[in-house]
Amino acid sequence: MKTSTLRELSPSELETKLRDNLAALENLRFQKALQQLENPLKIRLVKREIAQIRTVLHEYEMGVRTQNKQANKSQGNQE
């Protein structure tokens, strides 16, 4: 998923997506251990998306990003 798409999601949607990706990563690791994993690159992609989601969530915590999309648009117009 693109980072720009992640930045449009709300924190609750991001946390849901994070939980889904963590479960998917666990499943992929089990498949790898059982040597049933068809595409090993998928692990890297899921880990990268988890990192991107955590980065956006951290931006919300730090106050860099706000939950209100209108606030972001009005700030962009002022600059």
Q: What are phi and psi of 41, to 5 degrees?
A: -65, -25
Residue 68's pLDDT is what? 62
Percent of the chain with pLDDT over 90: 65
Q: pTM value?
A: 0.78
Give the number of other Cβ atoms within 10 Å of residue 77's Cβ: 7
Domains plus CATH for the chain?
3-67 (1.10.287.310)
> Chunked in runs of 10, what are the mean pLDDT values of the chain (79 residues)?
86 95 97 94 96 94 73 51
Contact 63/75 with Cβ under 8 angstroms?
Answer: no
